[in-house]
Amino acid sequence: MHIWLSWLTSVNALIDRMPHKRLAKKIDLKGAVMHQPAAPASSARGFEIVARQDFSDTTFLLEFSHPMMARAAKAGQFVIVMSHPEGERIPLTIADFDRGRGTVTLVIQAVGKTTKEMQQTCQLGGHLYAVVGPMGIPSHVGKAKKVICVGGGLGVAPIFPQARAFKESGAYTIGILGFRSKSLMFWDDKFRSVCDELIICTDDGSAGIKGLVTAGIAQALEKHTDVDEVVAIGPPVMMKGCSDSTRAKDIKTTVSLNPVMVDGTGMCGGCRVKVGGKVLFACVDGPDFDGHAVDFDDLMQRLRRYVPSEKEALERWQESCRIRGDAALQQA
């Protein structure tokens, strides 16, 4: 026990000093896989990718087979994925699940080394090496009668199961989706099937109203004076804007936080967030929190901490791809 506690203390101390990529390597994946629900015999190679869809140059969908996880998944939860045995473990929100088909859907934005590698290598018929989850506290779908669900950019995918859950609970559901432009838009048809009203916002005005999702919130609140709750998922700056826009009216506002995570089980302290003056761990206390109490500036500052090592990892990977590409060309 003592050794275990000392190990945890050392990990906590290390996380603040070390680039998270290096720390992630120190904690063996096998520790995480211990928490993996028993996989069906057919998943000896991992979890089969049964559908892939590319929404844009950077955003793609992977649907993988995992009947046990599909049965257990609830809106608001996430998984930790390792696409191959030497890969990094990254947290991704469960964007959808189908209990009948036994599948779970992820929507991924290729922003750095691991997500760009997944964009290249995770193809239909391939496998995800390890998936741990469902993790995190499911979103609270209470007795709200009228709810606004806001998704910004990639946040559109994880807000979907919440919008569906509110609709299924009987709430009047207003969806607000924000994209930079029409060409990046996805899932508006899926949202129409679970929302009583849908407002699309684009930065350039190429679809829906021209402006940020906060313009959509203002429009919805002008029409509806009886909104019980706003749920917002997207980049921290967007969730901050949404929380600010409901503060004066004191409308309950829930956001889903995405700090850097390592183990995802509350042990490393990497996902510390400040909420209402308290330090909480997004992986086990969240990821949903009261938007009016979140210290977004601290979150944004913490997310920028590892940018130099993330840039270095991406450059090293791109260089190795270039060398492998050259070798393949020479062999041809």
Ligand X SMILES: Cc1cc2nc3c(=O)[nH]c(=O)nc-3n(C[C@H](O)[C@H](O)[C@H](O)COP(=O)(O)OP(=O)(O)OC[C@H]3O[C@@H](n4cnc5c(N)ncnc54)[C@H](O)[C@@H]3O)c2cc1C
Minimum CB separation of residue 57 from ligand X in Å reads 14
Q: Which is nearer to ligand X, 315 or 326 (CB)?
A: 315
Taking CA atoms, 241 is separated from 139, 147, 217, 244, 306, in Å, by 21, 18, 10, 5, 24
133 sits near ligand FES (criterion: CB under 6 A): no
Exposure pattern of 210-235 as b/e (b: 16+ CB <10 Å)? ebbbbbbbebbbeeeeebebbbbbbb
234 sits near ligand FES (criterion: CB under 6 A): no
Which partner in ligand X, ligand FES, none is near 266 (CB below 5 to 8 A by kind)?
ligand FES
State which of residues 184, 268, 280, 294 lies at the interface with ligand FES (CB under 6 A): 268
CA 188 to chain centre: 18
Cβ proximity of 157 and 109 under 8 Å: no
Which partner in ligand X, ligand FES, none is near 173 (CB below 5 to 8 A by kind)?
none
257 sits near ligand FES (criterion: CB under 6 A): no
- Stretches 112-120, 134-142, 215-223, 262-270: which one binds ligand FES (CB under 6 A)? 262-270
Which partner in ligand FES, ligand X, none is near 239 (CB below 5 to 8 A by kind)?
none
Minimum CB separation of residue 23 from ligand FES in Å reads 10
Q: Which residue is nearest to ligand X (CB)?
A: 112
Q: In the structure encoding, which two tokens stand for residue 120, read together?
A: 């290249």
> What is the identity of the amino acid at 332?
A
Taking CA atoms, 309 is separated from 91, 98, 182, 272, 316, in Å, by 18, 37, 33, 20, 10
261 sits near ligand FES (criterion: CB under 6 A): yes
153 sits near ligand FES (criterion: CB under 6 A): no
List residues near ligand X by CB under 6 A: 20, 78, 88, 90-93, 106-109, 111-115, 154, 157-158, 258-261, 287, 303, 307, 310, 314
Terminal alpha carbon distance of the chain: 57
CA 280 to chain centre: 18
Judged by CB under 6 A, the chain residues 269 through 298 that form the site for ligand FES are 269-271, 281, 283
306 sits near ligand FES (criterion: CB under 6 A): no
Q: How many CB atoms lie within 10 A of CB 243?
A: 22
Which partner in ligand X, ligand FES, none is near 80 (CB below 5 to 8 A by kind)?
none
Q: Which is nearer to ligand X, 90 or 128 (CB)?
A: 90
Minimum CB separation of residue 210 from ligand X in Å reads 26
Minimum CB separation of residue 286 from ligand X in Å reads 8
What does DSSP say about strands 288-290 and 47-54: parallel, antiparallel, or unpaired? unpaired
Taking CA atoms, 46 is separated from 64, 69, 278, 297, 319, in Å, by 10, 13, 39, 38, 28
Q: Which is nearer to ligand X, 63 or 227 (CB)?
A: 63
81 sits near ligand FES (criterion: CB under 6 A): no
Give alpha helix (H) positions in the chain: 2-17, 20-26, 29-33, 67-72, 113-121, 156-168, 188-194, 213-223, 236-247, 282-285, 296-303, 307-331
Q: Under the rule (CB under 6 A), what is the footprint of ligand FES? A: 261-264, 266-271, 281, 283
